[in-house]
Amino acid sequence: MFTTGQLIFALFFFVAFALVVFFSYRKDKKLHARHYTGSIKILIGFILFLIILLLLKGWIKS
């Protein structure tokens, strides 16, 4: 399906991307704490909304 070179490139790309994201997050950690307080509540609300939509879809379909 994929050549060995493609798999090696994908592995290196993934590792490099993960490292860049990790170090960027560490650098901006204080800034995120100041500007995004309370965002966990929004995330939980969004996930609950999606769960409710899926439950309603299953309930209406049956």
pLDDT for 62? 76
pLDDT for 31? 85
pLDDT for 12? 98
Any idea of the CA torsion for 41, 45, 46, 49, to the nearest 10 degrees?
A: 180
pLDDT for 46? 97
pLDDT for 15? 98
Percent of residues in the chain assigned helix, strand, coil, to nearest 5? 85, 0, 15
In this predicted model, what pLDDT tens digit does every residue of 2-57 receive, in sequence order?
A: 999 999 999 999 999 999 999 998 988 888 888 888 889 999 999 999 999 999 99
Amino acid code (one letter) for 41? K
pLDDT for 13? 98
